[in-house]
Amino acid sequence: MSHLYISAAQKSSGKTTLSIGLCRAWRDAGLRVQPFKKGPDYIDPLWLTEACSRPCYNLDFHTMGRAEIRDAFAQELDTADFGLIEGNVGLFDSIDPAGSNSNAELAKLLGAPVVLVINCHGMGRGIVPLLLGYQAFDRELNLAGVILNKVGGNRHARNLIAAIEHYTDLPVLGVMHRDDDIEIAERHLGLMPSNEADAAEAWIDRIRGRVAEQVDLSRLLAIAEGAPRPRSPAPSPLILAPAGDPVRIGIARDAAFGFYYPDDLRALAAAGAELVELSPLADRELPSVDALYIGGGFPECRMAELEANRGMREQIADFIARGGPVYAECGGLMYLCEAIGWKGERHEMVGALKAEVRLHARPQGRGYVRLRETSDFPWPGEAVGGAREIPAHEFHHSSVVAPDPDWRYGYDVLRGVGIDGAHDGIVQGHLLACYSHLRDVGGVDWTRRFVDHVRRCLGA
């Protein structure tokens, strides 16, 4: 099975736009393209999912072991013709000075040839020592070629190619000229999510057209076909289907809420959940559900519409007050507070949590976190043990204004910010609301534990 790793010298080099175009071009050519994204991320995977018409899966050293990454990669690639892995940040960037969790290490782990995307704006012959340094830095890495991005014009392109061909043996696989028409709008946490872009399909097709014109797709495919076949995944343990009827979990999905990992949703279903989609923006009534899962997103960008849907806000507040089990992450936490304040405006939200949130210009929490479950953690079971440590991540520009001093928390924060720098996971009845995002990998097993919690609440 062919696969390819798209990386860059630094972030904001254009690798996401290129990856979207490649995925759509190969999908349109009849290939089953399986996208992957390195690290914790929701927004880029939404675009890649849309481009490929297949869910994008995250591969992340912080939350997954090396064997688990290899197995997940092989499993998802097994039903595809081609795998494309989009990196994050720069090729060799890592929070570990030894680079143990870098894109380069992930590419080597997967045996994936790397295509390096270079932002060439303002760059000339100086591209040569950059490329020579990248080649020499890690000889075990299969650096297969380079794509020049944001090139100024034909003369600029000729000068860059001539210098690269004279001094290096790296093939130039494409030249993408500067083009504002294919730039995806950005906001405080990166690209605008595709679930908010009304013209996402047209945008993707426009990107596909530019990429198909300016990148050597056939040569890229040939490089990908030379990648070693992924090792077959280890046999999965036998999982017995849960007894009884499935529990109905309402999941908030619309332009305000859309940050969910597809493998987590799959795990919820395997644990015995029937997922019922609902829109806090558009739906006037809460469907008949046993629990709620309100994930992340950008409620601040839709706060007037969320406020206007008073009926939904009141019904969710009543569901929580009656002891309904709820799990909320980041944007979901914001929605459950009394109000959101941003850019001089204030809009009322659900009000189940007696505090307001405020948006800031700078991130309040961003990156990897490590949590330790407290005795107040609401999903008890044999896996909890009272002091379980959980790897997770957070991305938020908001903060809780004047947290209630009487709040109980499900997590002590060992690394990261959470609610107040020391705690995360507000516990209120059967509600758990936190800034941290969980993944059901690395033995965290949050999906089964949540479903079991719902069953206990129902007395099932």
Active site residues: 330
Report the sign of the C-alpha dihedral through residues 11, 14, 19, 24, in that order.
positive
Sequence-ordered list of residues with C-beta below 8 angstroms from that of 321, at least 6 positions apart, any chain: 352, 429
Task: Report the phi/psi class of residue 236: left, alpha or beta, with left for phi > 0 and alpha for psi in -120 to 50.
Answer: beta
DSSP letters of 388-438? -EEEEEEEESEEEES--TT-EEEEEEEES-TTTSSEEEEEETTEEEESSB-
Residue 135 CA: distances (Å) to CA of 95, 103, 170, 215 = 21, 14, 9, 22
Sequence letter at residue 41? D
CA 226 to chain centre: 28
For residue 20, which of 257, 211, 252 has the smallest C-alpha distance?
Answer: 211
Q: Assess contact for 86 and 44: CB atoms under 8 A.
A: yes
Q: Residues 284, 288, 290, 292: what is their CA dihedral angle, to the nearest 10 degrees?
A: -20
DSSP letters of 288-300? S-SEEEE-EE-GG
Q: How far apart are CA 253 and CA 279, in angstroms?
A: 6
Q: How far apart are CA 374 and CA 388, in angstroms?
A: 8
Token readout for 192 is: 């605008």
Sequence-ordered list of residues with C-beta below 8 angstroms from that of 271, at least 6 positions apart, any chain: 242, 447, 448, 450, 451, 452
Q: How far apart are CA 427 and CA 422, in angstroms?
A: 15
Burial environment of residue 362 by CB neighbours within 10 A (0 to 12, 13 to 18, 19 or more):
exposed
Q: How far apart are CA 68 and CA 87, in angstroms?
A: 18
Q: Assess contact for 215 and 22: CB atoms under 8 A.
A: yes
Q: Assess contact for 54 and 262: CB atoms under 8 A.
A: no
Q: How far apart are CA 133 and CA 126, in angstroms?
A: 11
Q: How far apart are CA 61 and CA 305, in angstroms?
A: 38
